[in-house]
Structure 1
Amino acid sequence: MKTDEARAGVLMAIAAQICIQLGLVVAVGLIDTIGSDGTAWLRLSLAGFVLLVAVRPRPSAFTFRTFGMCVVLGGVTAAISLFFMASLDRLALGTATALEFLGPLMIAVISGSGRHRFLWPALAAIGVVLLSQPFGGGIDPKGALLAVMAGVCWAIYILLTQRVGDEVAGVNGLAVSMPIAGLVASFFVDAKAFSLLTPQVIVIGLIMAMLLPVIPYVLELLALRRLTTATFGILMSLEPAFAVLVGFLLLGQNPGWAGLFGIAAVVAAGVGASRAGGREMAVPLEVG
Protein backbone atom coordinates (compact mmCIF):
# COMPACT_ATOMS: atom_id res chain seq x y z
CA MET A 1 0.00 0.00 0.00
CA LYS A 2 2.80 2.41 0.90
CA THR A 3 4.55 1.57 -2.36
CA ASP A 4 1.39 2.44 -4.29
CA GLU A 5 1.07 5.69 -2.36
CA ALA A 6 4.68 6.61 -3.12
CA ARG A 7 4.25 5.76 -6.80
CA ALA A 8 1.16 7.95 -6.95
CA GLY A 9 3.08 10.76 -5.26
CA VAL A 10 5.88 10.51 -7.82
CA LEU A 11 3.40 10.64 -10.69
CA MET A 12 1.68 13.68 -9.16
CA ALA A 13 4.98 15.51 -8.69
CA ILE A 14 5.98 14.79 -12.30
CA ALA A 15 2.53 15.83 -13.56
CA ALA A 16 2.88 19.10 -11.64
CA GLN A 17 6.18 19.85 -13.36
CA ILE A 18 4.77 19.03 -16.78
CA CYS A 19 1.85 21.39 -16.10
CA ILE A 20 4.30 24.13 -15.19
CA GLN A 21 6.29 23.71 -18.40
CA LEU A 22 3.14 23.58 -20.52
CA GLY A 23 2.02 26.79 -18.82
CA LEU A 24 5.34 28.38 -19.73
CA VAL A 25 4.93 27.26 -23.34
CA VAL A 26 1.61 29.13 -23.37
CA ALA A 27 3.40 32.10 -21.80
CA VAL A 28 6.03 32.14 -24.57
CA GLY A 29 3.23 32.46 -27.12
CA LEU A 30 1.56 35.29 -25.17
CA ILE A 31 4.84 37.18 -24.84
CA ASP A 32 4.80 37.71 -28.61
CA THR A 33 1.32 39.23 -28.32
CA ILE A 34 1.24 41.33 -25.13
CA GLY A 35 4.90 41.40 -24.07
CA SER A 36 6.66 39.75 -21.14
CA ASP A 37 5.36 42.24 -18.57
CA GLY A 38 1.79 41.89 -19.86
CA THR A 39 2.07 38.11 -19.75
CA ALA A 40 3.37 38.14 -16.17
CA TRP A 41 0.59 40.49 -15.09
CA LEU A 42 -2.14 38.46 -16.84
CA ARG A 43 -0.96 35.20 -15.25
CA LEU A 44 -0.73 36.60 -11.76
CA SER A 45 -4.02 38.51 -11.96
CA LEU A 46 -6.08 35.61 -13.29
CA ALA A 47 -4.47 33.08 -10.93
CA GLY A 48 -5.05 35.48 -8.04
CA PHE A 49 -8.72 35.86 -8.98
CA VAL A 50 -9.22 32.08 -9.23
CA LEU A 51 -7.55 31.45 -5.86
CA LEU A 52 -9.41 34.29 -4.17
CA VAL A 53 -12.77 32.93 -5.34
CA ALA A 54 -11.89 29.28 -4.62
CA VAL A 55 -10.33 29.75 -1.17
CA ARG A 56 -12.19 32.85 0.05
CA PRO A 57 -9.69 33.64 2.83
CA ARG A 58 -11.25 35.00 6.00
CA PRO A 59 -9.80 38.02 7.81
CA SER A 60 -9.77 35.95 11.02
CA ALA A 61 -7.08 33.73 9.49
CA PHE A 62 -4.60 36.62 9.65
CA THR A 63 -3.04 38.93 12.14
CA PHE A 64 -1.78 42.36 11.13
CA ARG A 65 1.74 40.91 11.03
CA THR A 66 0.94 37.82 8.96
CA PHE A 67 -1.13 39.85 6.50
CA GLY A 68 1.85 42.17 6.08
CA MET A 69 4.05 39.15 5.38
CA CYS A 70 1.59 38.05 2.67
CA VAL A 71 1.78 41.51 1.12
CA VAL A 72 5.58 41.29 0.99
CA LEU A 73 5.30 37.75 -0.40
CA GLY A 74 3.00 39.06 -3.13
CA GLY A 75 5.58 41.68 -4.10
CA VAL A 76 8.32 39.07 -4.31
CA THR A 77 6.05 36.78 -6.35
CA ALA A 78 5.44 39.62 -8.81
CA ALA A 79 9.19 40.21 -9.12
CA ILE A 80 9.86 36.53 -9.87
CA SER A 81 7.27 36.41 -12.63
CA LEU A 82 8.30 39.74 -14.18
CA PHE A 83 11.98 38.80 -14.23
CA PHE A 84 11.41 35.26 -15.48
CA MET A 85 8.94 36.19 -18.22
CA ALA A 86 11.38 38.86 -19.41
CA SER A 87 14.14 36.24 -19.53
CA LEU A 88 11.92 33.94 -21.63
CA ASP A 89 11.75 36.74 -24.20
CA ARG A 90 15.53 36.34 -24.66
CA LEU A 91 16.42 32.77 -23.65
CA ALA A 92 15.30 29.22 -24.40
CA LEU A 93 12.92 27.73 -21.84
CA GLY A 94 15.42 25.15 -20.55
CA THR A 95 18.25 27.67 -20.19
CA ALA A 96 16.10 30.23 -18.35
CA THR A 97 14.73 27.56 -16.01
CA ALA A 98 18.19 26.19 -15.21
CA LEU A 99 19.55 29.67 -14.39
CA GLU A 100 16.49 30.50 -12.27
CA PHE A 101 16.90 27.19 -10.43
CA LEU A 102 20.21 28.44 -8.94
CA GLY A 103 18.25 30.41 -6.33
CA PRO A 104 16.50 27.41 -4.74
CA LEU A 105 19.72 25.42 -5.10
CA MET A 106 21.60 27.93 -2.95
CA ILE A 107 18.89 27.70 -0.27
CA ALA A 108 19.19 23.90 -0.39
CA VAL A 109 22.97 24.06 0.02
CA ILE A 110 22.90 26.60 2.86
CA SER A 111 20.29 24.65 4.82
CA GLY A 112 21.93 21.27 4.16
CA SER A 113 24.39 19.33 6.24
CA GLY A 114 27.73 17.64 5.61
CA ARG A 115 30.88 18.84 3.87
CA HIS A 116 29.84 17.38 0.52
CA ARG A 117 27.06 19.95 0.14
CA PHE A 118 29.69 22.51 -0.90
CA LEU A 119 30.44 20.45 -4.01
CA TRP A 120 27.01 21.21 -5.46
CA PRO A 121 27.51 24.96 -6.02
CA ALA A 122 30.74 24.16 -7.88
CA LEU A 123 28.94 21.65 -10.08
CA ALA A 124 26.15 24.17 -10.70
CA ALA A 125 28.74 26.81 -11.60
CA ILE A 126 30.20 24.48 -14.24
CA GLY A 127 26.69 24.03 -15.59
CA VAL A 128 26.17 27.79 -15.79
CA VAL A 129 29.42 28.24 -17.73
CA LEU A 130 28.38 25.54 -20.18
CA LEU A 131 24.96 27.15 -20.55
CA SER A 132 26.15 30.73 -20.95
CA GLN A 133 29.38 29.99 -22.93
CA PRO A 134 30.83 33.37 -21.90
CA PHE A 135 33.94 32.95 -24.05
CA GLY A 136 32.14 32.10 -27.27
CA GLY A 137 29.36 34.65 -27.67
CA GLY A 138 27.03 32.43 -25.65
CA ILE A 139 23.54 33.43 -24.61
CA ASP A 140 22.00 36.86 -24.28
CA PRO A 141 23.67 38.39 -21.18
CA LYS A 142 20.63 40.48 -20.25
CA GLY A 143 18.41 37.41 -20.49
CA ALA A 144 20.81 35.46 -18.26
CA LEU A 145 20.86 38.28 -15.70
CA LEU A 146 17.05 38.42 -15.66
CA ALA A 147 16.81 34.65 -15.08
CA VAL A 148 19.35 34.81 -12.25
CA MET A 149 17.46 37.73 -10.68
CA ALA A 150 14.30 35.60 -10.83
CA GLY A 151 16.27 32.89 -9.02
CA VAL A 152 17.36 35.31 -6.29
CA CYS A 153 13.75 36.36 -5.79
CA TRP A 154 12.73 32.70 -5.78
CA ALA A 155 15.18 32.04 -2.91
CA ILE A 156 13.63 34.92 -0.96
CA TYR A 157 10.19 33.56 -1.80
CA ILE A 158 11.05 30.16 -0.31
CA LEU A 159 12.15 31.70 2.98
CA LEU A 160 9.04 33.89 3.15
CA THR A 161 6.76 30.99 2.25
CA GLN A 162 8.18 28.95 5.11
CA ARG A 163 7.35 31.76 7.54
CA VAL A 164 3.86 32.34 6.13
CA GLY A 165 3.17 28.59 6.01
CA ASP A 166 4.07 28.28 9.70
CA GLU A 167 1.71 31.07 10.76
CA VAL A 168 -1.19 31.08 8.27
CA ALA A 169 -3.48 28.05 8.01
CA GLY A 170 -3.93 26.17 4.74
CA VAL A 171 -3.59 28.06 1.47
CA ASN A 172 -4.97 31.33 2.86
CA GLY A 173 -1.56 32.95 2.52
CA LEU A 174 -1.34 32.05 -1.17
CA ALA A 175 -4.91 33.22 -1.78
CA VAL A 176 -3.91 36.68 -0.50
CA SER A 177 -0.35 36.95 -1.84
CA MET A 178 -1.27 35.99 -5.42
CA PRO A 179 -3.88 38.75 -5.99
CA ILE A 180 -1.43 41.22 -4.44
CA ALA A 181 1.23 39.98 -6.87
CA GLY A 182 -1.14 40.71 -9.74
CA LEU A 183 -1.78 44.21 -8.37
CA VAL A 184 1.95 44.91 -7.95
CA ALA A 185 2.72 43.63 -11.46
CA SER A 186 0.12 45.99 -12.95
CA PHE A 187 2.37 48.95 -12.08
CA PHE A 188 5.12 47.58 -14.34
CA VAL A 189 3.04 46.80 -17.43
CA ASP A 190 3.34 48.83 -20.60
CA ALA A 191 -0.06 50.50 -21.13
CA LYS A 192 -0.05 49.12 -24.66
CA ALA A 193 -0.50 45.60 -23.26
CA PHE A 194 -3.92 46.49 -21.82
CA SER A 195 -5.12 47.70 -25.22
CA LEU A 196 -4.09 44.37 -26.78
CA LEU A 197 -6.29 42.30 -24.46
CA THR A 198 -9.00 40.46 -26.36
CA PRO A 199 -11.40 37.72 -25.24
CA GLN A 200 -9.12 35.18 -26.94
CA VAL A 201 -6.03 36.47 -25.12
CA ILE A 202 -7.89 36.40 -21.78
CA VAL A 203 -9.01 32.79 -22.35
CA ILE A 204 -5.45 31.78 -23.21
CA GLY A 205 -4.27 33.63 -20.12
CA LEU A 206 -6.78 31.73 -17.99
CA ILE A 207 -5.45 28.43 -19.36
CA MET A 208 -1.93 29.59 -18.50
CA ALA A 209 -3.03 30.55 -14.97
CA MET A 210 -4.61 27.14 -14.40
CA LEU A 211 -1.49 25.35 -15.65
CA LEU A 212 0.71 27.68 -13.64
CA PRO A 213 0.13 27.73 -10.68
CA VAL A 214 -3.36 26.45 -9.74
CA ILE A 215 -3.27 22.81 -10.91
CA PRO A 216 0.44 22.26 -10.03
CA TYR A 217 -0.11 23.63 -6.54
CA VAL A 218 -2.91 21.13 -5.88
CA LEU A 219 -0.81 18.29 -7.29
CA GLU A 220 2.14 19.38 -5.14
CA LEU A 221 0.05 19.28 -1.96
CA LEU A 222 -1.24 15.79 -2.83
CA ALA A 223 2.28 14.56 -3.66
CA LEU A 224 3.72 15.87 -0.39
CA ARG A 225 1.23 13.72 1.54
CA ARG A 226 2.70 10.62 -0.09
CA LEU A 227 6.42 11.44 -0.32
CA THR A 228 9.19 12.49 2.01
CA THR A 229 10.44 16.03 1.52
CA ALA A 230 13.84 14.64 0.45
CA THR A 231 12.26 12.52 -2.30
CA PHE A 232 10.09 15.42 -3.38
CA GLY A 233 13.13 17.71 -3.46
CA ILE A 234 14.96 15.30 -5.76
CA LEU A 235 11.96 15.18 -8.11
CA MET A 236 11.75 18.98 -8.17
CA SER A 237 15.43 19.11 -9.10
CA LEU A 238 14.48 17.57 -12.44
CA GLU A 239 12.58 20.71 -13.43
CA PRO A 240 15.30 22.11 -15.77
CA ALA A 241 15.39 18.76 -17.57
CA PHE A 242 11.62 18.84 -18.10
CA ALA A 243 11.95 22.41 -19.37
CA VAL A 244 14.52 21.34 -21.97
CA LEU A 245 12.35 18.43 -23.10
CA VAL A 246 9.18 20.53 -23.42
CA GLY A 247 11.09 23.38 -25.07
CA PHE A 248 12.56 20.98 -27.63
CA LEU A 249 9.30 19.15 -28.39
CA LEU A 250 6.88 22.08 -28.43
CA LEU A 251 9.00 25.16 -29.16
CA GLY A 252 11.75 23.67 -31.33
CA GLN A 253 14.45 24.97 -28.97
CA ASN A 254 17.65 22.92 -29.30
CA PRO A 255 20.11 23.67 -26.47
CA GLY A 256 23.04 21.94 -28.21
CA TRP A 257 25.45 19.55 -26.55
CA ALA A 258 27.07 22.18 -24.33
CA GLY A 259 23.65 23.35 -23.15
CA LEU A 260 22.54 19.79 -22.45
CA PHE A 261 25.63 19.09 -20.35
CA GLY A 262 25.15 22.42 -18.55
CA ILE A 263 21.55 21.67 -17.66
CA ALA A 264 22.52 18.12 -16.61
CA ALA A 265 25.11 19.62 -14.24
CA VAL A 266 22.52 21.96 -12.68
CA VAL A 267 20.05 19.07 -12.28
CA ALA A 268 22.75 16.86 -10.72
CA ALA A 269 23.64 19.67 -8.29
CA GLY A 270 19.97 19.98 -7.28
CA VAL A 271 19.63 16.22 -6.74
CA GLY A 272 22.84 16.13 -4.72
CA ALA A 273 21.76 19.03 -2.52
CA SER A 274 18.38 17.37 -1.90
CA ARG A 275 20.03 14.07 -0.95
CA ALA A 276 22.19 15.98 1.51
CA GLY A 277 19.06 17.12 3.31
CA GLY A 278 19.14 20.58 1.81
CA ARG A 279 15.41 20.96 1.42
CA GLU A 280 13.61 20.99 4.72
CA MET A 281 10.60 22.24 2.76
CA ALA A 282 9.78 21.61 -0.86
CA VAL A 283 10.35 24.46 -3.28
CA PRO A 284 6.86 25.86 -3.97
CA LEU A 285 5.57 25.38 -7.49
CA GLU A 286 3.55 28.56 -7.32
CA VAL A 287 6.20 30.54 -9.20
CA GLY A 288 7.06 28.02 -11.80
Structure 2
Amino acid sequence: MNFLKLIRYQNLLLLAFMQLIFRYGFFKYQNIPLALADWQYNLLVLSTVLIAAGGYVINNIFDQDTDLINNPKNVIVGASISETHAYNIYLALTSIGVAMGFYLSNVIEKPGFAAIFILIAATLYLYATSLKQMMLIGNIVVALLLSFSVIIVGIFDLFPATTSENQQQMGIFFSMLLDFAIFAFIINLLREITKDIEDFEGDHNQGMTTFPIFVGEEKATKIVFALSFIPLILVIYYINRYLLDLLFVTIYLLLFVCGPLLVFILKIWNAKSKQQFHFLSFLLKLILFFGILSVAVISFNMKYND
Protein backbone atom coordinates (compact mmCIF):
# COMPACT_ATOMS: atom_id res chain seq x y z
CA MET A 1 0.00 0.00 0.00
CA ASN A 2 2.89 2.35 0.74
CA PHE A 3 4.22 1.75 -2.76
CA LEU A 4 0.83 2.62 -4.25
CA LYS A 5 0.76 5.83 -2.23
CA LEU A 6 4.29 6.62 -3.34
CA ILE A 7 3.36 6.46 -7.03
CA ARG A 8 -0.04 8.13 -6.41
CA TYR A 9 -1.94 5.34 -8.04
CA GLN A 10 -5.24 7.25 -8.20
CA ASN A 11 -3.70 9.80 -10.55
CA LEU A 12 -2.11 7.02 -12.60
CA LEU A 13 -5.45 5.26 -12.94
CA LEU A 14 -6.97 8.49 -14.22
CA LEU A 15 -4.11 8.87 -16.69
CA ALA A 16 -4.51 5.31 -17.96
CA PHE A 17 -8.29 5.67 -18.15
CA MET A 18 -7.89 8.86 -20.16
CA GLN A 19 -5.74 7.17 -22.78
CA LEU A 20 -7.75 3.95 -22.89
CA ILE A 21 -11.08 5.72 -23.31
CA PHE A 22 -9.93 7.48 -26.46
CA ARG A 23 -9.04 4.24 -28.19
CA TYR A 24 -11.60 1.80 -26.83
CA GLY A 25 -14.39 4.26 -26.18
CA PHE A 26 -14.10 6.27 -29.37
CA PHE A 27 -11.54 5.49 -32.10
CA LYS A 28 -12.47 1.81 -32.25
CA TYR A 29 -15.99 2.83 -33.29
CA GLN A 30 -14.99 5.32 -35.98
CA ASN A 31 -13.96 2.99 -38.80
CA ILE A 32 -10.48 4.45 -39.09
CA PRO A 33 -7.10 2.71 -39.34
CA LEU A 34 -5.02 2.67 -36.17
CA ALA A 35 -1.26 2.23 -36.16
CA LEU A 36 -0.87 0.11 -33.04
CA ALA A 37 -2.22 -3.33 -32.24
CA ASP A 38 -4.21 -3.52 -29.01
CA TRP A 39 -1.33 -4.93 -27.00
CA GLN A 40 1.02 -2.29 -28.41
CA TYR A 41 -1.40 0.47 -27.50
CA ASN A 42 -1.67 -0.95 -23.99
CA LEU A 43 2.12 -0.85 -23.90
CA LEU A 44 1.95 2.85 -24.80
CA VAL A 45 -0.43 3.41 -21.89
CA LEU A 46 1.82 1.41 -19.57
CA SER A 47 4.87 3.35 -20.72
CA THR A 48 3.15 6.65 -19.99
CA VAL A 49 1.96 5.42 -16.60
CA LEU A 50 5.41 4.14 -15.60
CA ILE A 51 7.14 7.40 -16.53
CA ALA A 52 4.47 9.36 -14.66
CA ALA A 53 4.86 7.05 -11.66
CA GLY A 54 8.58 7.71 -11.71
CA GLY A 55 7.81 11.41 -11.76
CA TYR A 56 5.67 11.08 -8.64
CA VAL A 57 8.42 9.13 -6.87
CA ILE A 58 11.14 11.69 -7.60
CA ASN A 59 8.74 14.45 -6.61
CA ASN A 60 8.09 12.72 -3.29
CA ILE A 61 11.83 12.39 -2.70
CA PHE A 62 12.41 16.12 -3.09
CA ASP A 63 9.19 17.06 -1.27
CA GLN A 64 9.95 15.33 2.02
CA ASP A 65 10.31 18.47 4.13
CA THR A 66 7.32 20.22 2.58
CA ASP A 67 5.11 17.13 2.92
CA LEU A 68 5.92 16.90 6.62
CA ILE A 69 4.04 20.19 6.99
CA ASN A 70 1.39 19.94 4.28
CA ASN A 71 0.57 16.22 4.41
CA PRO A 72 2.28 14.64 7.44
CA LYS A 73 0.01 11.58 7.35
CA ASN A 74 0.93 10.83 3.75
CA VAL A 75 4.71 11.04 4.02
CA ILE A 76 6.19 7.88 2.52
CA VAL A 77 9.82 8.63 1.61
CA GLY A 78 11.95 8.70 4.73
CA ALA A 79 9.22 6.99 6.73
CA SER A 80 8.03 3.65 5.35
CA ILE A 81 10.31 3.70 2.29
CA SER A 82 13.92 4.82 2.50
CA GLU A 83 15.22 7.53 0.20
CA THR A 84 17.69 5.10 -1.40
CA HIS A 85 14.94 2.60 -2.11
CA ALA A 86 12.77 5.37 -3.52
CA TYR A 87 15.56 6.39 -5.90
CA ASN A 88 15.87 2.79 -7.08
CA ILE A 89 12.12 2.63 -7.69
CA TYR A 90 12.30 5.90 -9.64
CA LEU A 91 15.13 4.65 -11.84
CA ALA A 92 13.38 1.33 -12.51
CA LEU A 93 10.02 2.86 -13.39
CA THR A 94 11.49 5.57 -15.59
CA SER A 95 13.95 3.28 -17.37
CA ILE A 96 11.29 0.67 -18.19
CA GLY A 97 8.86 3.36 -19.36
CA VAL A 98 11.42 5.00 -21.64
CA ALA A 99 12.55 1.60 -22.98
CA MET A 100 8.95 0.81 -23.93
CA GLY A 101 8.81 4.17 -25.67
CA PHE A 102 11.90 3.26 -27.69
CA TYR A 103 10.26 0.02 -28.76
CA LEU A 104 6.98 1.66 -29.77
CA SER A 105 8.79 4.36 -31.72
CA ASN A 106 10.44 1.66 -33.79
CA VAL A 107 7.13 -0.18 -34.20
CA ILE A 108 5.65 2.84 -35.97
CA GLU A 109 8.95 3.32 -37.84
CA LYS A 110 9.58 6.69 -36.23
CA PRO A 111 12.64 5.99 -34.04
CA GLY A 112 13.12 9.70 -33.43
CA PHE A 113 9.86 9.76 -31.49
CA ALA A 114 11.69 7.97 -28.67
CA ALA A 115 12.99 11.40 -27.74
CA ILE A 116 9.44 12.25 -26.59
CA PHE A 117 9.67 9.77 -23.73
CA ILE A 118 13.14 10.94 -22.74
CA LEU A 119 11.96 14.54 -22.80
CA ILE A 120 8.93 13.76 -20.63
CA ALA A 121 11.04 11.87 -18.09
CA ALA A 122 13.64 14.65 -18.02
CA THR A 123 10.95 17.30 -17.59
CA LEU A 124 9.44 15.42 -14.65
CA TYR A 125 12.87 15.25 -13.02
CA LEU A 126 13.48 18.95 -13.61
CA TYR A 127 10.04 19.72 -12.23
CA ALA A 128 10.79 17.91 -8.99
CA THR A 129 14.26 19.39 -8.58
CA SER A 130 13.83 22.99 -9.74
CA LEU A 131 10.87 23.93 -11.94
CA LYS A 132 8.40 23.34 -9.12
CA GLN A 133 9.94 26.20 -7.18
CA MET A 134 9.47 28.67 -10.04
CA MET A 135 6.26 30.64 -9.81
CA LEU A 136 3.61 29.24 -12.19
CA ILE A 137 6.25 27.48 -14.32
CA GLY A 138 5.86 24.26 -12.36
CA ASN A 139 2.07 24.47 -12.53
CA ILE A 140 2.15 25.00 -16.28
CA VAL A 141 4.62 22.15 -16.81
CA VAL A 142 2.45 19.66 -14.92
CA ALA A 143 -0.66 20.77 -16.79
CA LEU A 144 1.15 20.53 -20.12
CA LEU A 145 2.42 17.04 -19.38
CA LEU A 146 -1.07 15.81 -18.59
CA SER A 147 -2.49 17.35 -21.75
CA PHE A 148 0.36 15.87 -23.77
CA SER A 149 -0.63 12.41 -22.55
CA VAL A 150 -3.76 12.96 -24.66
CA ILE A 151 -1.85 14.21 -27.69
CA ILE A 152 0.59 11.28 -27.57
CA VAL A 153 -2.36 9.02 -28.42
CA GLY A 154 -2.64 10.78 -31.75
CA ILE A 155 1.10 10.83 -32.33
CA PHE A 156 1.45 7.06 -31.96
CA ASP A 157 -1.94 5.73 -33.04
CA LEU A 158 -3.32 8.19 -35.60
CA PHE A 159 -0.38 9.95 -37.23
CA PRO A 160 1.43 6.80 -38.48
CA ALA A 161 -1.83 5.51 -39.99
CA THR A 162 -2.54 8.77 -41.82
CA THR A 163 -2.35 8.69 -45.60
CA SER A 164 -3.16 11.18 -48.34
CA GLU A 165 -6.54 9.47 -48.73
CA ASN A 166 -7.65 9.74 -45.10
CA GLN A 167 -5.72 12.85 -44.10
CA GLN A 168 -8.80 15.04 -43.76
CA GLN A 169 -10.68 12.48 -41.68
CA MET A 170 -7.71 11.83 -39.41
CA GLY A 171 -7.19 15.56 -39.07
CA ILE A 172 -10.67 15.89 -37.59
CA PHE A 173 -9.93 13.27 -34.95
CA PHE A 174 -6.53 14.78 -34.17
CA SER A 175 -8.24 18.14 -33.78
CA MET A 176 -10.64 16.53 -31.34
CA LEU A 177 -7.71 15.21 -29.33
CA LEU A 178 -6.26 18.71 -29.22
CA ASP A 179 -9.57 20.08 -27.94
CA PHE A 180 -9.60 17.58 -25.09
CA ALA A 181 -5.92 18.26 -24.41
CA ILE A 182 -6.67 21.98 -24.05
CA PHE A 183 -9.54 21.18 -21.67
CA ALA A 184 -7.28 18.89 -19.63
CA PHE A 185 -4.58 21.57 -19.53
CA ILE A 186 -6.91 24.28 -18.23
CA ILE A 187 -8.56 22.08 -15.61
CA ASN A 188 -5.25 20.72 -14.39
CA LEU A 189 -3.67 24.19 -14.27
CA LEU A 190 -6.56 25.38 -12.10
CA ARG A 191 -6.10 22.30 -9.94
CA GLU A 192 -2.36 22.85 -9.54
CA ILE A 193 -2.88 26.44 -8.41
CA THR A 194 -5.69 25.34 -6.08
CA LYS A 195 -3.35 22.73 -4.56
CA ASP A 196 -0.73 25.44 -4.08
CA ILE A 197 -3.28 27.52 -2.19
CA GLU A 198 -4.07 24.45 -0.09
CA ASP A 199 -0.35 23.96 0.62
CA PHE A 200 0.30 27.65 1.27
CA GLU A 201 1.63 27.21 4.80
CA GLY A 202 4.06 24.40 4.08
CA ASP A 203 5.37 25.99 0.89
CA HIS A 204 5.82 29.32 2.65
CA ASN A 205 7.78 27.70 5.47
CA GLN A 206 10.06 26.05 2.92
CA GLY A 207 10.81 29.38 1.27
CA MET A 208 9.10 28.47 -1.99
CA THR A 209 7.72 31.15 -4.29
CA THR A 210 4.49 29.65 -5.54
CA PHE A 211 1.86 31.79 -7.21
CA PRO A 212 -0.33 32.06 -4.07
CA ILE A 213 2.70 33.06 -1.99
CA PHE A 214 3.73 35.70 -4.53
CA VAL A 215 0.34 37.37 -4.96
CA GLY A 216 -1.19 36.40 -1.64
CA GLU A 217 -3.58 33.61 -0.75
CA GLU A 218 -6.77 35.66 -1.08
CA LYS A 219 -5.80 37.25 -4.38
CA ALA A 220 -4.76 33.89 -5.81
CA THR A 221 -8.16 32.50 -4.86
CA LYS A 222 -9.95 35.30 -6.71
CA ILE A 223 -7.74 34.78 -9.77
CA VAL A 224 -8.61 31.07 -9.82
CA PHE A 225 -12.26 32.10 -9.50
CA ALA A 226 -11.93 34.30 -12.59
CA LEU A 227 -9.96 31.72 -14.57
CA SER A 228 -12.49 28.99 -13.82
CA PHE A 229 -14.99 30.71 -16.11
CA ILE A 230 -12.73 29.89 -19.08
CA PRO A 231 -13.38 26.12 -19.20
CA LEU A 232 -17.08 26.70 -18.50
CA ILE A 233 -17.39 29.11 -21.42
CA LEU A 234 -15.34 26.83 -23.68
CA VAL A 235 -17.48 23.77 -22.91
CA ILE A 236 -20.70 25.70 -23.52
CA TYR A 237 -19.28 27.05 -26.79
CA TYR A 238 -18.18 23.55 -27.81
CA ILE A 239 -21.65 22.16 -27.11
CA ASN A 240 -23.29 24.94 -29.10
CA ARG A 241 -20.81 24.67 -31.97
CA TYR A 242 -20.45 20.92 -32.40
CA LEU A 243 -22.69 18.86 -30.14
CA LEU A 244 -26.23 20.23 -30.12
CA ASP A 245 -27.36 17.40 -32.40
CA LEU A 246 -26.12 14.90 -29.81
CA LEU A 247 -28.77 15.16 -27.10
CA PHE A 248 -27.24 12.67 -24.66
CA VAL A 249 -23.85 14.35 -24.89
CA THR A 250 -25.32 17.80 -24.39
CA ILE A 251 -27.23 16.72 -21.28
CA TYR A 252 -24.21 14.80 -19.97
CA LEU A 253 -21.83 17.74 -20.35
CA LEU A 254 -24.26 20.19 -18.79
CA LEU A 255 -24.87 17.92 -15.80
CA PHE A 256 -21.45 16.40 -15.20
CA VAL A 257 -19.01 19.04 -16.45
CA CYS A 258 -20.73 22.43 -16.47
CA GLY A 259 -22.63 21.67 -13.26
CA PRO A 260 -19.55 20.78 -11.20
CA LEU A 261 -17.69 23.73 -12.73
CA LEU A 262 -20.44 26.02 -11.47
CA VAL A 263 -20.16 24.43 -8.02
CA PHE A 264 -16.42 25.04 -8.12
CA ILE A 265 -16.91 28.68 -9.12
CA LEU A 266 -19.41 29.27 -6.33
CA LYS A 267 -17.31 27.59 -3.65
CA ILE A 268 -13.88 28.95 -4.59
CA TRP A 269 -15.05 32.53 -4.06
CA ASN A 270 -15.48 32.05 -0.31
CA ALA A 271 -12.97 29.25 0.25
CA LYS A 272 -10.67 29.85 3.21
CA SER A 273 -9.66 26.61 4.89
CA LYS A 274 -7.25 23.90 3.81
CA GLN A 275 -10.12 21.41 3.81
CA GLN A 276 -12.16 23.57 1.45
CA PHE A 277 -9.31 23.86 -1.03
CA HIS A 278 -8.69 20.12 -0.77
CA PHE A 279 -12.31 19.47 -1.71
CA LEU A 280 -12.08 21.92 -4.62
CA SER A 281 -8.94 20.21 -5.87
CA PHE A 282 -10.77 16.87 -5.76
CA LEU A 283 -13.75 18.42 -7.54
CA LEU A 284 -11.52 19.53 -10.41
CA LYS A 285 -10.19 15.99 -10.68
CA LEU A 286 -13.78 14.76 -10.98
CA ILE A 287 -14.50 17.37 -13.64
CA LEU A 288 -11.48 16.15 -15.60
CA PHE A 289 -12.68 12.54 -15.25
CA PHE A 290 -16.19 13.34 -16.46
CA GLY A 291 -14.80 15.51 -19.24
CA ILE A 292 -12.69 12.68 -20.57
CA LEU A 293 -15.53 10.18 -20.14
CA SER A 294 -17.60 12.34 -22.47
CA VAL A 295 -15.56 10.84 -25.33
CA ALA A 296 -17.35 7.54 -24.79
CA VAL A 297 -20.69 9.33 -24.43
CA ILE A 298 -20.09 11.04 -27.78
CA SER A 299 -19.34 7.67 -29.35
CA PHE A 300 -22.49 6.13 -27.86
CA ASN A 301 -24.67 9.06 -28.92
CA MET A 302 -23.33 8.97 -32.49
CA LYS A 303 -24.05 5.26 -32.70
CA TYR A 304 -27.52 5.78 -31.20
CA ASN A 305 -28.32 8.50 -33.75
CA ASP A 306 -27.34 6.17 -36.58
TM-score by length of 1: 0.33
Task: From the CA coordinates, give the structure whose radius of gyration is larger.
Answer: 2
Which fold has the larger relative contact order, with Cα–Cα distance below 8 Å and residues 6 or more apart in sequence?
Answer: 1
TM-score by length of 2: 0.32
